[in-house]
Amino acid sequence: MAKPTSTHPTGPAPSRWVWRLGSVAGIPIRVHFTLLLLLIWIAWLELQQAGAQGLAPEGDPVAWLLFLGGRVLFIVGIFACVLFHEIGHALVARGFAIRTTEIMLYPFGGVARLHGMGRPTQELWISLAGPSVNIVIGLLLFAVLQATGLWAPIDRLARGEATVLQNLALANFILAGFNLIPAFPMDGGRVLRALLARRFGMLRGTSIAATIGQAFAIGLGLLGLFWGNFILIFIAFFVFVSASQEVGMQRSRVMMRGQHVRDAMIRRFESLSGHDSLGRAAEFLLATHQQDFPVVEAGKVIGVLTRPALVRGLTERGPSAPVSAAAAEAYLALEPGEPLQDAVEQLQAEKQKVGLVFDGAQLVGMLTEENVREFFQLHAIDSGHG
């Protein structure tokens, strides 16, 4: 069976909810559509508040447009600074040979998806990079405003009469300070984890940092309930859940040490021909526990048919359509001796449900997130009995 020359996906599967803005240093920049909704909502709240406080102009349409433009410009500027924050993480990670798959902007902030955080010392510097970028931006804006004499006095700041640049300068200092709170998974929590890991190990350090992060999240959530602030409650929920997930991920990494793809891969599986019908594929799906199928033509793998693609193909094309019409041509190719942790990180980074395992040109197995989870469960049971 000949192994295809091009087997690696070109990137994460596109989504109608995610828009690509471009790339920086080869790193794709994407934004979730809910961010646009948040910007509109914040702009509306800002206008209402400004009107209630008498800060908005009255009667003059041009003045209203300028006022609205300034408010929108400030909000967009905030997210631009968040983007620079994430680029700072990504560039320092690149200096440690840690690849960044993408930078995603969400309503709650940005996320730089890294292939791991490296050793504790490397994680320390990567985590500090983002807040450092915000501090530098704030200082540069402050220097420009001071040099031009445009820095507003404190009494004008208190009345909300600061310029857009002055508000951005202050916002960057606030972003840096908030991110440096030692509550995992924020940057300060990762700094704390890196320092703890040097003494207690990565798993124990993660557990301590996550516990602190969850305690902070509970306190923040209670404040949000007391003040009736939905955004604080949302951030508290995000921090609490993310801290729990990070502990689970770290435990998985510990369990994967010394394990290879051959230890966890599926060895018995069914393959489909590109000429098989989607109806036949559905029969395989129902008759076996297999969810994803390699598609083979003349002894050569030409793609993978996943369960979602099969369901979508049946809905759009019907059961008589060929498998090749619904199968994805790009897939992730793995080797049996590849470290299991590296393979799982590739699956997650490329948002792939399945990886095909080749021994030379021979397809010998499949690796999915589901069978990796089962491998962890059995491994944990064996370790407990041992």
**In contact, 296 and 271? CB cutoff 8 Å:** yes
DSSP string, 164-190: HHHHHHHHHHHHHHHHTSS-TTSHHHH
| Cα-Cα end-to-end distance for the chain | 40
* Helix or strand (DSSP H, E) at 3: none
* Best CA proximity match to 175, nearest among 225, 235, 135: 135
- What's the burial of 287, exposed, middle or buried (CB within 10 Å: 0-12/13-18/19+)? exposed
**In contact, 309 and 327? CB cutoff 8 Å:** yes
Pull the structure tokens for residue 86.
């994430």
* Helix or strand (DSSP H, E) at 115: none
Grouping H, G, I as helix, E, B as strand and the rest as coil, residue 297 is: strand
> Which residue matches tokens 């009494």?
155
Residues with active-site annotation: 86
Question: What is the strand order of the sheet 18-24 is part of?
Answer: 18-24, 27-32, 100-106, 109-114
Amino acid 188 reads G
DSSP string, 17-81: TEEEEEEETTEEEEEEHHHHHHHHHHHHHHHHHHHHHT-S--S-HHHHHHHHHHHHHHHHHHHHH
Pull the structure tokens for residue 359.
């021994």
Side-chain-side CA neighbours of 118 within 13 Å: the count stands at 20
The Cα 206–Cα 343 span in angstroms is 22
Alpha helices by DSSP H, 96-201: 120-147, 154-158, 164-179, 187-200
